Amino acid sequence: MTGNLLIVLFDGLAFGMLLFVLSVGLSVTLGLMNFVNLGHGAFGMLGGYVALVVTREAGLSFFLALPAAFVGAAVVGIACERTLFRRLYRSGELNQVLFTVGLVFVATAIATFLFGTGQQPIQIPDVLRGSVEIGGLRFGIYRIFLIVVALAVTAALIFGLEFTRFGASVRAAVDNQRVAQGLGIDVDTIFAITFALGCGLAGLGGALAIEIVGLDPTFAFHYLIYVLIVVAVGGLGSIGGSFLAAALLGIADVGGKYFVPELGSFLIYLLMVGVLFWRPLGLFGKR
Amino acid sequence: MSTETYALRTENLRKRFGSLEVARDVSITLPRGARHALIGPNGAGKTSLVNLITGQLPPDSGRVLLEGQDITRLNRAARVKAGLARTFQINQLFPALTPIEAITLAVTERKGTAGQFWRSLASHGDAIDEAWGILAQLRLTEVATRPTRVLAYGQQRLLEIGLALATRPKVLLLDEPAAGVPKGESAELFSVIAALPDDISVLFIEHDMSLVFKFAARIIVLVSGGVLLEAEPDVIRTDQRVRDVYLGQAHHG
Amino acid sequence: MADPSANQATIAGTQAWIRRQGRWSPYEIAFWIAVFVPFFFFPTYLTLASQIAIAALFALSVDLILGYAGIITLGHAMFFGLGAYAAGLLTKTGWGEPLTGLLISGAFVALVGFVVSFVIVRVQHLALLMITLGLGLLTLELANAMSWLTGGTDGLQGVSVWPIFGTFDYDLWGYTAYSYTLAVLFVGLLIARRIVHSAFGLSLRGIRENLNRMPAIGAPYQRRLQVIYTISAGMAGVAGALLTQTTSQVALDVLSFQRSADVVVMLILGGTGRLYGGIIGAIIFMVARDQLAGINPQYWYFWIGILLMIVVLVMPKGILGFLAQLWERIRR
């Protein structure tokens, strides 16, 4: 029983780390520009399909597919930001929601047109297959890899935000945009770069996700909900909050489906509504 | 309660944001029928004091009393119901509503009839009449049925006051009523304020000293969150400390 | 033509102006005559017409909270679906009278809406979006898990509704169904009209226009929002119940996110805060979907997505808002 519990905890943590990589970009961009981008999941899906094409059509290694997914999603992200999203920064939540929901509909339809509705498998390298045995319990190597990647991303983000000039500008802009602008920080450019990075991370998350949850055109919407839960519960603009919320959500989801499968996703929705009722700004939200 | 001679009193109001103290032991008293001005350099905590009194900010300590009733723990709407109204430095209007609608809304909220969804608005004739009266007092009847957003700025400032008047306040706090209004029009705006009935006690924030000296019976000087001095205009005019505060600001600003 | 605002600088003129705001316009009357057209010219489309009337009532319920009070929702299908299940389960208990069925279902859903409203008025922005979305998904999961009651993914079958007034049975062509749904939509519109042209409706518009000012005029705005949320939930519940009664079954998708999204799309398409926006939006949306039914539903959503993006960028006030602006420009 404790063995099962440990495995569930481990799997949940790995799933949570996946959710973290998928969502952290949205948390930062939402905190920065208050732009409610429900299309974030679509960028994750895009990364997934890029990885698929790179490994399957071009025959390249999965390890090359990951950066390709990042770059692909980042490029499309910045293109959308510069041409479309920026028109909506001042036009209210509802318009942002509707526009980006429209984007999800379009992305889903395009994915269906190009790849069909079926689940797409991905070829991962042999070193990531199988599992290691520790104390009589078997831990999947791919899941260990996921946790390592997520920790590396977290470390890079924290380093980037805390110790670089760019990071300081981003933090200043999140805290108070007008003051930041007054200090001569180019908030517009900062946002474009951050948005690209956020979409890139979502793309990376999408590529990493295929092995665990598969990939089909419903990905954009299905994982959007997880992403939004992480962002809302963690608190806007809080990397630590997102990390913790993602870990909690991953464990609650895997644990819930393992121990009380008949309730499906009911538990996590209940958890989210409960947390937001208790703390509308999320666990670590400041504004 | 009605034996109290003052309309509004604050007792040792304190509020700090981190190291910034926006209210240091503020104790002021507004007698009935007051025409008091609240002045002080930028950042002295004038608007914060209004926010503390009206309940937009909770004080760290201290009390707010309205005719003897402790209203420190009441929420904003309840304080308005108790007779404490305010206007805002930056217009807080209803852009798509017409003045007659906006004032009628405030009147029905006061009468407690605004929750009635089964009666047409037109059937609230008494509320509309009262709203019309307020618009007439403010000389806004010509634009009564135009959307607020198309009104001239000075008219919007008057409507701002009208919304507060519709709550039938005992105490009215005006946060820079003439802010942004051209100099010529601001005297006209203040004459409307001066013409308010005596049973409304008024405290107004204003930067233009000529207006302050003309319309205030008494002046409270606020400096870095604390009351520096409260006196008649003649005293304030010649007070060295007040002069220093303003000159000092002129030097640095 | 004389300037209609010329005589308003008198109290009588202003009173008259306020009365005019709540008066029936010729366009409205024309619309309610036009709704009879399907009976005579498109009898084969009567089933579709009743679906439209149901969708329109649902969109009207969302307009009350979104268009008039400014509460964004991504989960209103929760109330639609609860109404649908309530009406279906009621007939299972042996009571198939449709009108009382509608009222009971509506009242039940309004009660649920009242409870939910305590959560809704506490939150804003992202948290509001997430809570409405979350509650909607939660209800769907719950209905799926409680398959002993709801039939789960198979849906609730064998709903049998008695004839309306004990005489009018549902016919194959849908004459009865369309008359029935149309009548309920009309009553719904009368209620909504009364609400938005009341002092309460004015208070809601105040909340939408400037929430921050409301406490400063002594308005208990949270209570107002709770009232309208409850009414809106009840109306959505009635729409759901109508669907059950006219189709004699309940599918799980009455609670789906898709339905919550569709209704917002219809409303935005037509224009918010105008009562008829949702109705016009429902007509366009449903007719377009019917005409394009042959194509893969995925591609249908491609076009809906494109349409949404265009509406947001080009006509943020919807079709009715766009037409009103156009009319203003022509008149000048």
Tell me the per-residue pLDDT of B36-95, one tens digit each, with 9 for 90 and over. 999 988 888 899 999 999 999 899 999 999 998 999 999 999 999 999 999 999 999 999
Q: Name chain B's partners: 3 or more CB pairs within 8 A.
A: C
CATH number of the domain bearing residue B211 = 3.40.50.300
Tell me which residue has tokens 């917002």.
C264
The Cα of A273 is separated from the nearest Cα of chain C by a number of Å equal to: 6
User: Given an 8 Å threshold on Cβ–Cβ distance, is A106 in contact with C141?
Assistant: no
Which residues, 6+ apart, have CB-to-CB distance to B50 below 8 Å?
B86, B173, B175, B205
* Residues C112, C309: Cα–Cα separation, whole Å: 33
> Amino acid letter at C239?
A
The pLDDT value given to residue B3: 56
Nearest Cα neighbor of C108 from C240, C206, C10 is: C240
- In chain B, % of residues over pLDDT 70: 96
Does residue A236 contact residue A30 with C-beta atoms inside 8 Å? yes
The Cα of B17 is separated from the nearest Cα of chain C by a number of Å equal to: 22
Tell me the per-residue pLDDT of A217-247, one tens digit each, with 9 for 90 and over. 989 888 888 898 898 888 887 888 899 999 9
Q: Which of C8, C10, C14, C332 to mutate to test the interface with B (most CBs of B within 10 A)?
A: C14
* Residues A129, A124: Cα–Cα separation, whole Å: 7
Q: What's the whole-number average pLDDT of chain A?
A: 87
Say if residue B4's pLDDT is above 80. no
**Residue of chain C whose alpha carbon sits nearest to that of B127:** C199
The Cα of C247 is separated from the nearest Cα of chain A by a number of Å equal to: 28
With bands split at pLDDT 50, 70 and 90, how would you rate the model's confidence at B248? low
User: Given an 8 Å threshold on Cβ–Cβ distance, is A110 in contact with C137?
Assistant: no
* Residues B247, B43: Cα–Cα separation, whole Å: 15
With bands split at pLDDT 50, 70 and 90, how would you rate the model's confidence at C201? very high
Domain total in chain B: 1
User: Given an 8 Å threshold on Cβ–Cβ distance, is C127 in contact with A280?
Assistant: yes
User: Given an 8 Å threshold on Cβ–Cβ distance, is A102 in contact with C133?
Assistant: no
Taking the CB of residue C115, how many other CB atoms lie within 10 A of it?
Answer: 11
Query: Is any Cβ of chain C less than 8 angstroms from the Cβ of B97?
Result: yes
**Residue of chain C whose alpha carbon sits nearest to that of A217:** C298
The pLDDT value given to residue C216: 93
Topology of domain C36-294 in CATH is ABC transporter involved in vitamin B12 uptake, BtuC (1.10.3470)
Is the ipTM higher than 0.85? The answer is: yes
The pLDDT value given to residue C225: 95
The Cα of B38 is separated from the nearest Cα of chain C by a number of Å equal to: 20
Say if residue C168's pLDDT is above 90. no
**What is the DSSP annotation of B146-175?**
S-GGGS-HHHHHHHHHHHHHTT--SEEEEE
Say if residue A252's pLDDT is above 80. yes
* Residues C213, B164: Cα–Cα separation, whole Å: 10
With bands split at pLDDT 50, 70 and 90, how would you rate the model's confidence at C4? very low
User: Given an 8 Å threshold on Cβ–Cβ distance, is C301 in contact with A93?
Assistant: no
Query: Is any Cβ of chain C less than 8 angstroms from the Cβ of B134?
Result: no
The pLDDT value given to residue C161: 80
3-state helix, strand, coil in chain A (%, to 5): 75, 5, 20
**What is the DSSP annotation of C279-292?**
HHHHHHHHHHHHHT
Handedness of CA B244, B245, B246, B249 (dihedral sign): positive
| Structural domain that includes position B229 | 6-92+169-252
User: Given an 8 Å threshold on Cβ–Cβ distance, is B119 in contact with C209?
Assistant: no
The Cα of C22 is separated from the nearest Cα of chain B by a number of Å equal to: 8
Nearest to C141 among A30, A221, A265 (CB): A265
User: Given an 8 Å threshold on Cβ–Cβ distance, is C15 in contact with B125?
Assistant: yes
The pLDDT value given to residue C59: 97
Query: Is any Cβ of chain B less than 8 angstroms from the Cβ of C4?
Result: no
Determine the average pLDDT of the residues in A51-76. 92
Tell me the per-residue pLDDT of C33-77, one tens digit each, with 9 for 90 and over. 988 888 888 777 888 999 999 999 999 999 999 999 988 899 999
With bands split at pLDDT 50, 70 and 90, how would you rate the model's confidence at A52? very high
Tell me the per-residue pLDDT of A126-140, one tens digit each, with 9 for 90 and over. 888 888 888 777 888
Q: For the domain covering A2-278, report its CATH number.
A: 1.10.3470
Nearest to C224 among B115, B142, B144 (CB): B115
Query: Is any Cβ of chain B less than 8 angstroms from the Cβ of C198?
Result: yes
User: Given an 8 Å threshold on Cβ–Cβ distance, is A264 in contact with C307?
Assistant: no
Query: Is any Cβ of chain B less than 8 angstroms from the Cβ of C92?
Result: no
Strand-pairing partners, residue B14, are B61
Taking the CB of residue A263, how many other CB atoms lie within 10 A of it?
Answer: 16
Q: Name chain C's partners: 3 or more CB pairs within 8 A.
A: A, B
Query: Is any Cβ of chain B less than 8 angstroms from the Cβ of C179?
Result: no
User: Given an 8 Å threshold on Cβ–Cβ distance, is B114 in contact with C200?
Assistant: yes
User: Given an 8 Å threshold on Cβ–Cβ distance, is C66 in contact with A98?
Assistant: no
B179 within some domain: yes
**Residue of chain C whose alpha carbon sits nearest to that of B120:** C198
Region of A119 on the Ramachandran plot (φ > 0 left; ψ -120 to 50 alpha; else beta)? beta
Q: What is the dihedral of CA A267, A271, A274, A278, to 10 degrees?
A: 170
Running DSSP on this structure, what letter comes out for residue B252? H
Q: Give the count of alpha carbons within 13 A of A162, CB side only.
A: 9
User: Given an 8 Å threshold on Cβ–Cβ distance, is C312 in contact with A117?
Assistant: no
B17 within some domain: yes
The pLDDT value given to residue B251: 46
Q: Name chain A's partners: 3 or more CB pairs within 8 A.
A: C
* Residues C332, C43: Cα–Cα separation, whole Å: 42
Query: Is any Cβ of chain C less than 8 angstroms from the Cβ of A134?
Result: no
Domain ranges across chain C: 36-294
* Residues C125, C130: Cα–Cα separation, whole Å: 9
Residues of chain C positioned with their CB less than 8 A from the CB of A272: 130, 134
**Residue of chain C whose alpha carbon sits nearest to that of B81:** C218
User: Helices marked H in chain B — which ranges?
Assistant: 46-54, 76-82, 99-111, 125-137, 153-165, 183-194, 209-215, 233-238, 240-252
* Residues A115, A49: Cα–Cα separation, whole Å: 9
**What is the DSSP annotation of B35-59?**
EEEEE-STTSSHHHHHHHHHTSS--
The pLDDT value given to residue C228: 96
The Cα of C252 is separated from the nearest Cα of chain A by a number of Å equal to: 15
User: Given an 8 Å threshold on Cβ–Cβ distance, is A105 in contact with C301?
Assistant: yes
User: Given an 8 Å threshold on Cβ–Cβ distance, is B93 in contact with C213?
Assistant: yes
* Residues A281, C126: Cα–Cα separation, whole Å: 9
User: Given an 8 Å threshold on Cβ–Cβ distance, is A276 in contact with C141?
Assistant: no
Say if residue A107's pLDDT is above 90. yes
Tell me the per-residue pLDDT of A193-205, one tens digit each, with 9 for 90 and over. 889 999 999 999 9
B120 within some domain: no
Tell me the per-residue pLDDT of C18-28, one tens digit each, with 9 for 90 and over. 998 888 988 89
Q: What's the whole-number average pLDDT of chain C?
A: 88
Nearest Cα neighbor of C227 from C56, C124, C113 is: C113
Determine the average pLDDT of the residues in B178-196. 86
Determine the average pLDDT of the residues in A51-77. 92
With bands split at pLDDT 50, 70 and 90, how would you rate the model's confidence at C1? very low
Running DSSP on this structure, what letter comes out for residue C171? P
The pLDDT value given to residue B247: 62
Number of separate helices (H) and strands (E) present in chain C: 15, 0
CA distance readout (Å), A166 to A146, A173, A186: 27, 11, 11
The Cα of C256 is separated from the nearest Cα of chain A by a number of Å equal to: 13
With bands split at pLDDT 50, 70 and 90, how would you rate the model's confidence at A171? confident
B206 within some domain: yes
Handedness of CA C252, C257, C258, C259 (dihedral sign): positive
The pLDDT value given to residue C6: 47
Residue A32 or residue C53, greater confidence: C53
B116 within some domain: no
Query: Is any Cβ of chain B less than 8 angstroms from the Cβ of C205?
Result: yes
Q: Which of A88, A90, A229, A272 to mutate to test the interface with C (most CBs of C within 10 A)?
A: A272
User: Given an 8 Å threshold on Cβ–Cβ distance, is A102 in contact with C144?
Assistant: no
